[in-house]
Structure 1
Amino acid sequence: MLEQPHFGRRLRRLRLERGLSQAAVVGEGMSTGYLSRLESGERRPTPRAVAYLAQRLDVDVSALSEPSGHGSLRHALAAASSAPPGTDSTVDLLRALQDDEHAEPADRWHALWLLSRIDDSNGDYEKERGRLRELIELSESLAAPELRARTNVQYARCLRALGDLRTAEPAAMTALAIAREEDLQTADIMAALVVLIGVEAELGRLDAAGRHVHELERDLLPAATAPQAAEALWTASLVSHRQGDHATAQNHLETALNLLEGRDDPALWTRLRTAAAATALEMSPPRLEAAQRWLDEAGPIIELTGTPLRAQELHALRAHLAFHRGELDEARTLCRALLSDDDLRLPYRDRTRLLVLEGRLSILDGRVDEGITALEQLGHQATDARNLDLAAHVWQSLATALAQVRAPAARDAVGSARGRP
């Protein structure tokens, strides 16, 4: 006997794909009521009904008579995993997930993981969060420590991208605890530690982040692969930068960038360069030449093969670079183009920094009240989100922008006073 409701869902999907009504499918040999009950899962199909429907739909009987849905999801997984680079298997994988409610939990975990990775690369963080929540439940039911640790790591990364540090921190701590207690591989411990350090730094907990960086460098870096070491050093550079040790931050960045060549891992290679450029632009004073060099290296690859998210990140960094160089017209053009995009995918931190840039430009353009209001709102939002690092950037930017517009006004007032009789 064929399983329901899987048979009914497959039957309905095949009918709809062909644009056929129930009446068109049943013809003279079956009632629409019977077909409706088959599609809803209320009736089990007989071999004769399967053969008739296969003929009416112009498909092989096996398309309807597969005894379970396990094969369809596994087929979609195999196709997605073996697809050439640049191939989008999202639709087929989603369809297989929806059609196969009886899939093995491990198969469902694998499919959701692949889809969450696609969401992450596209900047679809809300979709990714939903998938990761289900992945965490599946990981618990599978009682697989590696899957539990890796899912919590990615969940913490996703929440950080959304600006939800309150939830990201316990997810990262859970991942690290699992990795340590279960004595998982170095890669799993490093991944959990790296995301926890990033969250701690944004929360303003630099002492804790510094201790974890020391542990990372002392215990884990010697056994790390080049990509793992590069990401760890990049994270360590962020902490050094926030501690005001720009020389160490620069050294960590340079070391990380030299560990990889473009052909080793093009995605990570370009990501490290945009991240290094972002850090260089945040230094005091900004390292403009270094930022320009790294953006020049990453730009052509991102423009040729990057996702829309990576392209937006590149354009945002170019806007910041133009601003620091005093090229305000270029900064305005890039900033407005990004913020007017209905499909802006930047993570919370990058989006907020871009809005800060827009507020500073408004103040410099003479729209002082508008710029002040925008920056104050951003500052309060970052504070409410407990992102103290970002909040400090917002308030400092507001103070700097006001000083820039007030200084010329003060000079004008002094000049007028001196010219009075």
Structure 2
Amino acid sequence: MPSGIDQILQQPSFGHHLRALRVAQGLSQVQLAGGEFSPAYLSRLESGTRPPTDRVMSHLCKKLKVPLSAFHTTAGSALTRALATVTSVGESLAMAAALEEALLQEPDADAVLRWQAQWVLARCYQQQGRVSEELDLLQEITALGDRTGLPDLRCRSRVRLARLLRAAGDFAQARTRVEESLALAEEHDLPYRDVVEALLTLISIDAESGQTAQARANADRLIGTLSEELPLRLKVEALWTTASVCARQGDHEAAIEPMTRALKILPSNEDPVLWMRLRMAAASMYLRTVPRDTDEARTLLDEAATGARIVGTPVHHRELLLLQCQLAFYEGRYQEARELCDRLGDRPDGISVRDQLRLDVLRNQIAIIEGDHAAAVVELERIAKEAQQSANTELSAEVWRALAEALRLAEKAGRH
């Protein structure tokens, strides 16, 4: 019999904590009961209608692999315990469920503690590709940060929200949020890394919304102010962002230099996810250089695929598959490109608006090659004109080039 049973949480707090621990470890009620007692009895324990016995506590501690002290009244609130578990174990699907449960149990918990728990939960959603849930939660986090009145929380929640809004194509709201973040960072003299995070996001928003000249000017200024004190991740992201802006302007020679630097300075064990994403971004850039460098793109995608097998989320795998589709098309493997496109489906969950557009363009390029000329040409012309009307001349030009290339390849294949 474990010692200290008289110090355990009282019901219903005990039941809430027991359920959070079970969910965090991915166990069903049947698995936790394990034949020692019925799942119905465990359900009553978790609902708070039955107190645990000494024998039950011994079994629970053994199955959950925790000491009895994990159930003590001194172990903190349910939200504190859930947050400690997630940060020590990792951000899995079960951990997300544990945080969700704890947040529901303590709607009136300390605002800063709730902000921290929601911040970690949003990261869980990001890793699981739950984009709509992540966006809703980031809206809540931003509002909660405002209620705390703490400038650093208000600043960081806005940057993260702006990045997701940008990916969703809501450039106006994204710009509003990141400009608020920059103002907070400057007004309250927050650490320079907060300024850099906000500037990187603003540059990306400007670039993707067609304001490439402004994006290039800010990127050039930012690169000139990078210091040794900045985390390596931010240095890499600054170089990556600068390369992307140069590529959007058609200055491919200028784009290659910062991208090459970023690839060289980041070891795979420093940040495996960033290492993988950087290679996908570089491959995408090489697929758009003039002339196109499919050899370099293939090498980078092979490296990224290795990383994706270890640390990739469902969204990362879809982004990688799209790039592999594009590579197959540009290498003349049209049947394989069609098969890869079909695997992605019409609207893959979680990919950015820009990636969705590129998938639509690629699908129509393949249709032209396959002989379905008229409908595909009309669709590509529509996409290009819509981009032009939204003042995104760089994206419009990319679509017109894609149309011209598909027509040229179809003519070469005798399918015009």
Question: Normalising by the residue count of structure 2, what TM-score does the alignment of the two structures yield?
Answer: 0.80
Matched, 1:166 2:166: no
Q: Deviations over 1:60-113 (max 9, x none)?
A: 8x9xx9999970011100000111576740111111111211211111111111
8 Å contact kept, 2:243–2:255: yes
Q: Deviations over 1:109-155 (max 9, x none)?
A: 11111111122233322111100111111111111111111111111
Identify if the C-alpha distance between structure 1 residues 98 and 343 changes in structure 2 by more than 3 Å, giving closer, same or farther: farther
8 Å contact kept, 1:165–1:387: no
8 Å contact kept, 1:281–1:287: yes
Aligned to 1:282: 288
Counterparts of 2:326 and 2:130, CA distance in 1 = 24
Any unmatched runs of 5+ in structure 2? Answer: 1-11, 21-28, 30-37, 58-67
How far the C-alpha of 1:196 sits from its partner, in A, is: 0.5
Identify if the C-alpha distance between structure 1 residues 404 and 81 changes in structure 2 by more than 3 Å, giving closer, same or farther: same
8 Å contact kept, 1:163–1:385: no
SS in 2 for 1:220: coil
Q: In the TM superposition, what are the counterparts of 1:198-217 in structure 2 within 5 Å? A: 198-217=204-223
The AA in structure 1 aligned to 2:377 is I
Q: In the TM superposition, what are the counterparts of 1:133-144 in structure 2 within 5 Å? A: 133-144=139-150
Counterparts of 1:231 and 1:284, CA distance in 2 = 24
8 Å contact kept, 1:80–1:89: yes
Matched, 1:89 2:95: yes
Aligned to 1:149: 155
The equivalent position to 2:202 in structure 1, one of 191, 196, 199, is: 196
Q: Deviations over 1:169-191 (max 9, x none)?
A: 11121112211222111211111
8 Å contact kept, 2:75–2:81: no
Identify if the C-alpha distance between structure 1 residues 217 and 192 changes in structure 2 by more than 3 Å, giving closer, same or farther: same
The AA in structure 2 aligned to 1:251 is E
**Aligned-residue CA RMSD in angstroms?**
3.6
Aligned to 1:361: 366
Counterparts of 1:134 and 1:304, CA distance in 2 = 31
Identity across matched positions, percent: 32
Matched, 1:228 2:234: yes
Aligned to 2:328: 322
Counterparts of 1:155 and 1:243, CA distance in 2 = 26
SS in 1 for 2:77: helix
The equivalent position to 1:261 in structure 2, one of 263, 267, 270, is: 267
The AA in structure 1 aligned to 2:368 is I
Counterparts of 1:354 and 1:276, CA distance in 2 = 18
Identify if the C-alpha distance between structure 1 residues 94 and 378 changes in structure 2 by more than 3 Å, giving closer, same or farther: farther
Counterparts of 1:165 and 1:291, CA distance in 2 = 29
Counterparts of 2:16 and 2:374, CA distance in 1 = 60
The equivalent position to 1:106 in structure 2, one of 104, 112, 130, is: 112
SS in 1 for 2:287: helix
Matched, 1:54 2:51: yes
Matched, 1:180 2:167: no
How far the C-alpha of 1:257 sits from its partner, in A, is: 0.6
Counterparts of 1:175 and 1:169, CA distance in 2 = 10
Aligned to 1:244: 250
How many residue pairs align between the two structures?
378
8 Å contact kept, 2:111–2:148: yes
Matched, 1:401 2:398: no
Question: Normalising by the residue count of structure 1, what TM-score does the alignment of the two structures yield?
Answer: 0.79
